[in-house]
Amino acid sequence: MKLCVPIPCFFGGLPFETAVEKVAALGYKYVEIYDWRQLDPASAAKALEGAGVTMLSMCTTEFRLTDPACRDLWVDGIKESCEAAAALGVKKLITQVGPDTGAAREAQRRSIVEGLKAGAPILERAGVTVMVEPLNTKVDHPGYYLTSSAEAFELVREVGSPNVKVVFDIYHQQVSEGNIIPNITENLDCIAHLHAAGHPGRNELQFGENDYKNIFAAVDKAGFPGACGLEYRPLLRAEESLAAAREIYS
């Protein structure tokens, strides 16, 4: 497994190019961002190459898969995001599924699946994977549709495309359901990326109730080939915080 630095969490106040240099100086080789539209693609790609850093993931431009009326916007966003991904060497996109619209859950679920199926051929041609993200509604995202990792895995399996997967956020799933290690290791066929933070607080991994040494060891033993983004709000200086994360995963 690789550790990945989400730029907005640690160096969001800096120009992307400067942030990439700082990440590289701290010994990290992988980053992710959220809104790619804030970047100058040519400048960002040059900075990544110069620092020897790879950008693993970024977000799509549209998240409202639960609403069929927004499907075309979501598909157009996939097209745009795949073009940006090609310019930046990115192979993974994160999408949320949107709010619970109040319609029957089965209707919303059907809308999500149909939207993902509509985007799948675009993703497959581009060689890019989109990753659906379950979130917690108890602390951070009230009103969001998808909280269950089991439902997320079911969605991915129903879509049936190798380019549609799940980003499993350990923090969100600890809030929502727990049972972290089995839920990851028994569903590696559906998971393309991990996120991690300590709970409660969404801060450093060592400040929460999860034993991340055990989690990471189990994930490695299971053969997970992807990366884990350190998506938390650091209480320590960025340099100290990222050094501590490396100690946990050592």
The reply to whether 83 belongs to the active site is no
User: CA quadruple 243, 245, 247, 250: dihedral positive or negative?
Assistant: negative
CA separation for the pair 88, 95 (Å, rounded): 18
Burial of 57-74, coded b for 16+ CB within 10 Å and e otherwise, reads: bbbbbbbbbbbbebbeeb
Which long-range contacts does 233-239 make (Cβ < 8 Å, 24+ apart)? 233/9, 233/197, 233/201, 233/202, 233/203, 234/9, 234/10, 234/203, 234/204, 235/203, 235/204, 235/207, 236/204, 238/10, 238/11, 238/22, 239/26
The reply to whether 231 belongs to the active site is yes
User: Active site residue: 114, 133, 204, 247, which one?
Assistant: 133
User: Active site residue: 21, 231, 240, 247, which one?
Assistant: 231
Catalytic positions are 133, 231
